Amino acid sequence: MPIYEYKCTECEPQFEEIRPLGDDGKTLICPDCGTKAPKKVPSVFAAGSDQSSSAPCGDPSGCSTPFG
């Protein structure tokens, strides 16, 4: 199941929920104030890095961690 981001229409915080694919969120309530049917907001997906280094940690001289 995908994670969707929602924003409360009353108290304004954003929160995430794991919901079935295509779920409209009408059964959700805000975890802060209890308002029903928060608004779904577009998610930001980070697929990569904009760093020019070829090292996975971003350090041109190499990574210092064993998982590097």
| 34-56 pLDDT per residue, tens | 999 899 888 776 555 555 445 55
Give this prediction's pTM: 0.57
Residues belonging to the chain: 68
The domain limits of the chain are 1-19+28-42
In 10 A of CB 67, how many CB atoms?
6
| Region class of 35: left (phi > 0), else alpha (psi between -120 and 50), else beta | beta
**Does 61 have pLDDT greater than 70?**
no
